Amino acid sequence: MATATQDTSKETLGFQTEVKQLLQLMIHSLYSNREIFLRELISNASDACDKLRFEALHNAALFEGDSDFKIRISFDKDAKTLTIADNGVGMSREEVITNLGTIAKSGTREFFSKLSGDEKKDASLIGQFGVGFYSSFIVADKVTVHTRRAGAEPNQGVRWESEGTGEFTIEMVDRPIRGTEITLHLKEGQDDLLSSWKLKSIIRKYSDHIVQPIVMKGEKWDDEKKEQVATDEDETVNQASALWARSKNDITDEQYKEFYKHVGHDFEDPLTWTHARVEGKTEYTQLLYVPARAPFDMWDRNARHGVKLYVRRVFIMDDAEQLMPLYLRFVRGIVDSADLPLNVSREILQESKDIESIRNGCTKKVLGMLESLANSEDAAEKEKYAKFWGEFGRVLKEGMGEDHANKDKIAALLRFASTQADTPDETVSLADYIGRMKPEQEKIYYVTAETFNAAKNSPHLEVFRKKGIEVILLSDRVDEWVVSHLTEFEGKQLVSVAKGGLDLGKLEDEAEKKEQESAAGEFKELTEKIAKSLGERAKEVRVTHRLTDSPACLVADEHDVSGNLARILKAAGQKAPPSKPILEINPKHPVLLRLKYEEKRFDDWAAVLFDQALLAEGGQLDDPATFVKRMNQLMLEMSGS
Ligand SMILES: Nc1ncnc2c1ncn2[C@@H]1O[C@H](COP(=O)(O)OP(=O)(O)OP(=O)(O)O)[C@@H](O)[C@H]1O
């Protein structure tokens, strides 16, 4: 951020580039939703009060004699201004510059590079990003902020002002009271906001759940002026009680949704939620939400905005990571404990038995909520689960390795693509698969590959397709890791179709088994000859019944890493344990029948066979040029013969 001009105490500073972009975009794409600015400013004011209450637990002097939190909304019809004031924690000069001049989220730059310029699309992206304070500029052409940090001297007040274009001014001012006051100078055409009735209806709609009282001056009819005039009495507009502490029956869906937008810093409605009071050894209330959409920084493991912790309705901390396992990091909401001490710190939380039991309880609750969505008979609920899976499936998969105690529950929630539909849509559960298994089938079969198409067209599937046996198609990077933790489901073993000797058990009849044995005998000489020719490249060469169309394929030995996993590890810069593939040949394929009689170019044929098997499973050749040369030579010879 560059300083443009500086005159003694008043400075003009430029916004961070991303803020400028955000402002532009917000003003244009969120205009139809302009009322949300008030929700955002009240939400910030409420957070500021929560923060001060928490800081004051250790230092009561910060209250400066006033511990009655309030958010005040007022307006001036003549000046066309609207003011939102709180007596929360306030901000120092440095905090104002950082908070109201930059966006401090990681991944901001990447996020902005994704914007398309299409207002509709970008509007929903912007929602994902969080609109916050900057939404003031949807209705205002100038915003003035007066603030002072709680506990600071009265001369440490800060005045910030901007027209929301490229820059803002900042100067130190006297401010006897702590907290923040934001004045919006409304744009032309926003006069309807200068009405008590209008403001109250917006507050009740979006901010009723706010814990602090939101107050406005009362009004009475003035006969002379023939209009409503303000009285001196304060009127509380919202319910001003902790929403989660109310009985479920007293809370409407709308209220739940608005509360979510506040705690989740989200712009859209949540997908679903669960609200319960847990009694017993540890007592707490949980109100947990699953968002409808993954935030843009979901893969940033340090991203904030998780579950908030309260102790007996007093806000303690944001994003108390101990309350949720990492693989459920998309969950938003609050936990209010009746047992923890008010002065609990992050360090204490790490050791706390209460927290452990709250985390276990919350985890079970979230998994249960997902389970009931997934298993619901109601099409709309099922649709929600599909949406959930699309957004958060990859994160949930992490739970397979992270949460041993709930592994079976998580496995039941997984959804896959399979050869049944042969599309990339991940809709098949393991239970669906088992329900469709052939009567003689004992195992759950899967294939892993780098892309969906590589999985779908994998030569390893040929015999399964011929016999009509469903195979799960895995092409997500974490899938290799998932299957390493998921060896069986409901007593059925999960096996890779590209690993180990293929034992189809009862899926094959006696005649087929006999035929395989005789093919193995008949091709013994050839397999030995190919093995000798390939030398170190293959661990073994053997006859297979996996293939119907392809001449050959590679498989990994039972306990070796699969070719796909080895490639993933390599791409991630890690060393895969050394292992060599097994080359399996199709005894019915004309190429192999021909190879039996090949003398002159046998080594070239064997090498090409190996290389094409490697290519077919998505591998890369060490020496592609030699492969091409060999192919061309063989092709020329064939055409000549
Ligand atoms: N009324 C206020 N009192 C004290 N600090 C405030 C106030 N309003 C905003 N801030 C500070 O400015 C920061 C930025 O606010 P902003 O609304 O842009 O984003 P946010 O609330 O952090 O996140 P989101 O964009 O998801 O809403 C806040 O995190 C807070 O530190």
Q: What is the pLDDT of residues 399-430, one digit of tens each?
A: 998 999 999 999 999 999 999 999 999 999 99
Q: pLDDT band at 370, cuts 50/70/90?
A: very high
Entry pTM = 0.80
Q: Atom 13 (ligand 1): residue with closest C-alpha?
A: 99
- State the chain's maximal CA–CA distance in angstroms: 114
List all residues 6 or more positions away from 528 whose beta carbon is below 8 Å from its beta carbon: 541
Helix (H, G, I), strand (E, B) or coil at 153: coil
Q: Across residues 576-601, what is the average pLDDT?
A: 86
Tokens of 629: 């040369």
Per-residue CA distances from 412 to 286, 325, 416, 489 (Å) = 24, 18, 11, 8
Q: pLDDT band at 57, cuts 50/70/90?
A: confident
Q: What is the pLDDT of residue 245?
A: 93
> Which of 262-271, 291-300, 386-395, 478-487 shows the lowest mean pLDDT across its residues?
291-300
CA pair distance 240, 237, nearest whole angstrom: 8
Per-residue CA distances from 321 to 261, 326, 342, 631, 639 (Å) = 20, 8, 18, 57, 68
| Residue 3 pLDDT exceeds 90 | no
Q: What is the pLDDT of residue 294?
A: 86
- Angle between the 253-264 and 36-56 helix axes, to the nearest 10 degrees? 60
Tokens of 453: 């198409």
Q: Which residues line ligand 1 (CB under 6 A)?
A: 40, 44-45, 48, 86, 88-91, 99, 130, 132-134, 180, 265
Q: pLDDT band at 7, cuts 50/70/90?
A: very low
Q: How far is the CA of 99 from the centre of ligand 1 (A)?
A: 7
Record: fold of 415-506: Rossmann fold (3.40.50)
The strands making up 71-76's β-sheet, listed across from edge to edge, are 3-7, 10-14, 167-173, 157-162, 140-148, 179-186, 81-86, 71-76, 214-222, 227-236
Phi-psi region of 216 (alpha: psi -120 to 50; beta: other; left: phi over 0): beta
DSSP 8-state symbol, 556? B
List the chain domain ranges.
2-238, 244-380, 415-506, 510-558+565-639
Q: Is residue 101 part of an annotated ligand binding site?
A: no
| CA of 132, closest atom in ligand 1 | 17
CA pair distance 322, 79, nearest whole angstrom: 49
Q: What is the pLDDT of residues 202-248, one digit of tens each?
A: 999 889 889 999 999 998 888 988 888 888 899 999 988 899 999 99
CATH of domain 2-238: 3.30.565.10
Position of tokens 């077919």?
A: 616
Q: Is residue 86 part of an annotated ligand binding site?
A: yes
Q: Atom 23 (ligand 1): residue with closest C-alpha?
A: 132
Cα dihedral angle (604, 606, 612, 616), rounded to 10 degrees?
A: 180
| Residue of higher predicted confidence among 281 and 433 | 433
Q: What is the pLDDT of residue 303?
A: 64
Q: What percent of the chain has pLDDT over 90?
A: 59
Q: What is the pLDDT of residue 300?
A: 66
| Residue 32 pLDDT exceeds 90 | no
Task: Identify the helix (H) or strand (E) that includes residue 36.
Answer: helix 36-56
Please give the radius of gyration of the chain, using alpha carbons only, rounded to the nearest integer.
33
What is the phi/psi pair of residue 619, to 5°? -85, 175
Task: Identify the helix (H) or strand (E) that includes residue 143.
Answer: strand 140-148
| Residue 479 pLDDT exceeds 50 | yes
Q: What is the pLDDT of residue 5?
A: 46
What is the phi/psi pair of residue 191, to 5°? -60, -25
Q: What is the pLDDT of residue 230?
A: 84
Domain at 244-380: CATH architecture: 2-Layer Sandwich (3.30)
| CA of 45, closest atom in ligand 1 | 1
| Residue of higher predicted confidence among 268 and 563 | 268
Q: What is the pLDDT of residues 526-540, one digit of tens each?
A: 999 999 999 999 999
Per-residue CA distances from 20 to 105, 138, 202, 547 (Å) = 15, 13, 27, 59
CA pair distance 578, 340, nearest whole angstrom: 51
- Report whether 446 contacts 480 (CB < 8 A): no
List all residues 6 or more positions away from 261 whose beta carbon is below 8 Å from its beta carbon: 39, 43, 206, 267, 268, 269
Q: How far is the CA of 47 from the centre of ligand 1 (A)?
A: 8
CA pair distance 528, 227, nearest whole angstrom: 102
Q: Is residue 54 part of an annotated ligand binding site?
A: no
Tokens of 557: 């030995």
Q: Is residue 131 part of an annotated ligand binding site?
A: yes
Q: pLDDT band at 577, cuts 50/70/90?
A: confident
In the chain, the amino acid numbered 300 is: D
Q: How far is the CA of 603 from the centre of ligand 1 (A)?
A: 70
Task: Identify the helix (H) or strand (E) that includes residue 358.
Answer: helix 353-374
| Total H helices, total E strands in the chain | 21, 23
Ligand 1 pocket mutation, candidates 26, 36, 126, 133, criterion most atoms within 8 A of CB: 133
| CA of 266, closest atom in ligand 1 | 26
Q: What is the pLDDT of residue 533?
A: 92
Please give the distance of CA 250 from its chain centroid, rounded to a whole number: 31
Q: What is the pLDDT of residue 361?
A: 95
Ligand 1 pocket mutation, candidates 26, 47, 89, criterion most atoms within 8 A of CB: 47
Q: pLDDT band at 2, cuts 50/70/90?
A: very low
Closest C-alpha among 631, 635, 580 to residue 604: 631
Q: What is the pLDDT of residue 350?
A: 80
| Residue 589 pLDDT exceeds 80 | yes
- Report whether 385 contacts 373 (CB < 8 A): yes
Record: fold of 510-558+565-639: Four Helix Bundle (Hemerythrin (Met), subunit A) (1.20.120)
| CA of 44, closest atom in ligand 1 | 8
Q: Across residues 91-109, what is the average pLDDT?
A: 84
Phi-psi region of 226 (alpha: psi -120 to 50; beta: other; left: phi over 0): left
Task: Identify the helix (H) or strand (E) that includes residue 277.
Answer: strand 270-278
Q: What is the pLDDT of residue 106?
A: 64
Q: What is the pLDDT of residues 61-93, one digit of tens each?
A: 999 999 999 999 999 999 999 999 999 999 999
Q: Across residues 345-352, what is the average pLDDT?
A: 80
Q: How far is the CA of 67 from the centre of ligand 1 (A)?
A: 21
Q: How far is the CA of 318 from the centre of ligand 1 (A)?
A: 13
Q: Is residue 106 part of an annotated ligand binding site?
A: yes
Tokens of 506: 């009862």
Tokens of 94: 């440095």
In the chain, the amino acid numbered 183 is: T
Position of tokens 């989220």?
A: 105
Q: What is the pLDDT of residue 302?
A: 62
In the chain, the amino acid numbered 270 is: P
Q: What is the pLDDT of residue 50?
A: 92
Q: Across residues 512-523, what is the average pLDDT?
A: 82
| CA of 43, closest atom in ligand 1 | 21
Q: What is the pLDDT of residues 425-458, one digit of tens each?
A: 999 999 999 999 998 899 999 999 989 999 999 9
> Which of 152-166, 355-369, 449-463, 494-508 shows the lowest mean pLDDT across its residues?
494-508
- Report whether 85 contacts 181 (CB < 8 A): yes
Average pLDDT value for the chain: 89
Q: Is residue 44 part of an annotated ligand binding site?
A: yes
What is the phi/psi pair of residue 230, to 5°? -70, 145
Q: Atom 14 (ligand 1): residue with closest C-alpha?
A: 99
**ipTM summary value:** 0.97
CA pair distance 296, 175, nearest whole angstrom: 38
Task: Identify the helix (H) or strand (E) that includes residue 231.
Answer: strand 227-236
Q: What is the pLDDT of residue 297?
A: 72
Position of tokens 């009509």?
A: 468
Q: How far is the CA of 89 from the centre of ligand 1 (A)?
A: 11
Q: What is the pLDDT of residue 452?
A: 94
CA pair distance 454, 417, nearest whole angstrom: 13
- Report whether 428 contacts 513 (CB < 8 A): no
Q: What is the pLDDT of residues 179-192, one digit of tens each?
A: 999 999 999 999 99
Q: How far is the CA of 310 from the centre of ligand 1 (A)?
A: 19
Q: What is the pLDDT of residue 1?
A: 45
The strands making up 582-585's β-sheet, listed across from edge to edge, are 540-543, 582-585, 552-555
Q: Is residue 107 part of an annotated ligand binding site?
A: yes
Closest C-alpha among 598, 603, 606, 627 to residue 615: 627
Q: Is residue 120 part of an annotated ligand binding site?
A: no
Q: Is residue 40 part of an annotated ligand binding site?
A: yes
Q: How far is the CA of 133 from the centre of ligand 1 (A)?
A: 6
Q: Atom 7 (ligand 1): residue with closest C-alpha?
A: 44
| Residue 169 pLDDT exceeds 50 | yes
- Report whether 279 contacts 355 (CB < 8 A): no
CA pair distance 462, 589, nearest whole angstrom: 13
Give the Cβ contact number of residue 296 at 10 Å.
19
DSSP string, 562-583: PHHHHHHHHHTT-PPPP--PEE
Closest C-alpha among 195, 201, 151, 147 to residue 175: 147
Helix (H, G, I), strand (E, B) or coil at 154: helix
- Angle between the 353-374 and 379-402 helix axes, to the nearest 10 degrees? 140
Q: Across residues 48-71, what is the average pLDDT?
A: 93
| Residue 513 pLDDT exceeds 80 | no
Q: How far is the CA of 12 from the centre of ligand 1 (A)?
A: 21
